Amino acid sequence: MQTTTVKAFGTEAAEAPLKTLNIERRAVMPSDVEIEILYCGICHSDLHAARNEWMNTVYPIVPGHEIVGRVTQVGDAVAKFKPGDLAAVGCLVDSCRECEYCREGLEQFCEPGATLTFNSPDKFIDGQQTYGGYSQSVVVDERFVLSVPESLDPAAAAPLLCAGITTYSPLRHWNVGPGTKVGVVGLGGLGHMAIKLAKAMGAEVTVFTTSPSKVEDAKRLGADDVVLSRDEEQMAAHANTLNFILDAVSAPHDINAYLGLLRADGTLVLVGAPLEPLPVVSFNLILGRKSFAGSPIGGLPETQEMLDFCAEHNVVPDIELIGVDDVNDAYERLLKGDVRYRFVIDMKTLN
């Protein structure tokens, strides 16, 4: 396989800061799209992976799965894209395409396992892992490339590719809409998208945050009510009030406190992904016939649907645009919950 060397920003060890690296990108094959990366969002999963918190990282790693850029080259068989188009890549860059799930456009459940945008074995370059969006360019099969509606600001659109779809998909799957009382736990990148999307779907939204400094923001982002989750009185006042809770917390926390907020037949969906087990008290589920569920990203058709929904409903992430030199600092701020509400890297700064 012919390859091209491009610049990227990643790390060679869990304890080491990210720095400029050289990586290889494959030559464009017939159904491939080459994208010059303009912007890449920083997801907390980037940090979990860079620091080997999920204990499966192969180094070097180049994180980044919220990619927006311009198409620079397409293979002969590509129908959907041409050079100059605004395009995006999310968390998946390949899958088997043949299993029951892939045929339904649910590539996130691919049976042999989908290829993630970073830290998956690369199918085309022997012995290499996939490298993510903290880089100058990427080459991806067109099936895994999304169209960015021209009305969306390209920098602000980047977080939709993970934070957007990861919250949109469960809100849709559990039929959130007018009349649904939704709780959002953890006001970070995912949490702030959950507020905006649930409101755009017509739901009533209560936000649960550990950060007093985010209360006003939560309201500005659209929340009908905001609760400081470390205040037991405020929590007690919301017992048995919610139909659906989306939990987007990146660290261990007490799930039982939230199960108690659900009404009978309510569902708590975990999208936050701390490695540690989260113990559940059986009666917190049994007594109200409640469900405790999880949800990963979304398939390609639903990701496109989400982008189009955001364009139509003017749902735009709140971003802080940074340069690559700020990435290590941004990781430290993420760990402190100090994010308003998604860092997006201006990839020009890598040159």
Choosing among Zn ion, ligand NAP, none, which partner's interface includes residue 350 (Cβ < 5 to 8 Å by kind)? none
User: Angle, nearest 10°, between helix axes 300-313 and 189-200?
Assistant: 70
Residues 6+ apart with CB under 8 A from 198: 171, 176, 180, 182, 184, 205, 246
Residues 2 and 149: their CA atoms lie apart, in Å, by: 32
- The helix or strand, by DSSP H or E, that contains position 100, with its residue range, turns out to be helix 100-103
Smallest distance from Zn ion to CB 114, Å: 7
For residue 288, give the DSSP letter. Answer: T
Q: Which stretch binds ligand NAP (CB under 6 A): 24-32, 80-88, 140-148, 180-188?
A: 180-188
| Near ligand NAP in 286-345, by CB under 6 A | 295-297, 334, 337, 339
Contacts of 184 (CB under 8 A, 6+ apart): 191, 194, 195, 198, 205, 206, 207, 208, 223, 245, 246, 248
In the complex, the smallest distance separating the C-beta of residue 240 from Zn ion, rounded to whole angstroms, is 32
Stretch that binds ligand NAP, among 15-23, 94-102, 144-152, 185-193 (CB under 6 A): 185-193
273 touches Zn ion by CB under 5 A: no
Q: Strands 67-74, 86-89: parallel, antiparallel or unpaired by DSSP?
A: antiparallel
**Chain residue at closest Cβ approach to Zn ion:** 43
Residue span binding Zn ion (CB under 5 A) among the ranges 75-83, 157-165, 225-233, 317-325 = 157-165
The interface with ligand NAP within residues 55-114 (CB under 6 A) comprises none
> What does the alpha-carbon distance between residue 279 and residue 325 come to, in Å, rounded to a whole number?
39
> How is residue 196 written in tokens?
């905006």
Residue 67-106 contact track with Zn ion, rule CB under 5 A, x = bound: ----------------------------xx--x--x----
| Residue 250 interacting partner from Zn ion, ligand NAP, none (CB closer than 5 to 8 Å by kind) | ligand NAP
Upstream peptide bond of 60 is cis (omega within 30 degrees of 0): yes
- Name residue, tokens 């290499």: 128
Count of residues in contact with Zn ion, rule CB under 5 A: 8
| Among 278, 6, 302, 43, CA closest to 172 | 302
| Of the candidate residues 21, 32, 34, 45, the single one contacting Zn ion (CB under 5 A) | 45
Considering the rule CB under 6 A, would residue 119 count as an interface residue with ligand NAP?
Answer: no
306 lies in the site for Zn ion, by CB under 5 A: no
Q: Is 171 in the site for ligand NAP (CB under 6 A)?
A: no
Distance CA 250, CA 267 (A): 19
Binding of ligand NAP by 166 (CB under 6 A): yes
What is the b/e burial string over 61-89, where b = at least 16 CB atoms within 10 angstroms of the residue's CB? bbbbbbbbbbbbbbbeebeebeeebbbbb
CB of 107 to ligand NAP, least distance (A): 13
131-160 footprint of ligand NAP as x/- string (CB under 6 A): ------------------------------
209 binding ligand NAP? (CB under 6 A)? yes
Rg for the chain, CA atoms, rounded? 20
Q: Which helix (H) or strand (E) holds 312?
A: helix 300-313
**One of 110, 148, 165, 261 touching Zn ion (CB under 5 A):** 110
Residue nearest to ligand NAP (CB): 188
Which residues would be at the binding site for ligand NAP (CB under 6 A)? Answer: 43-45, 48, 162-163, 166, 186-191, 209-211, 214, 248-251, 253, 271-274, 295-297, 334, 337, 339
Which residues would be at the binding site for Zn ion (CB under 5 A)? Answer: 43, 45, 95-96, 99, 102, 110, 162
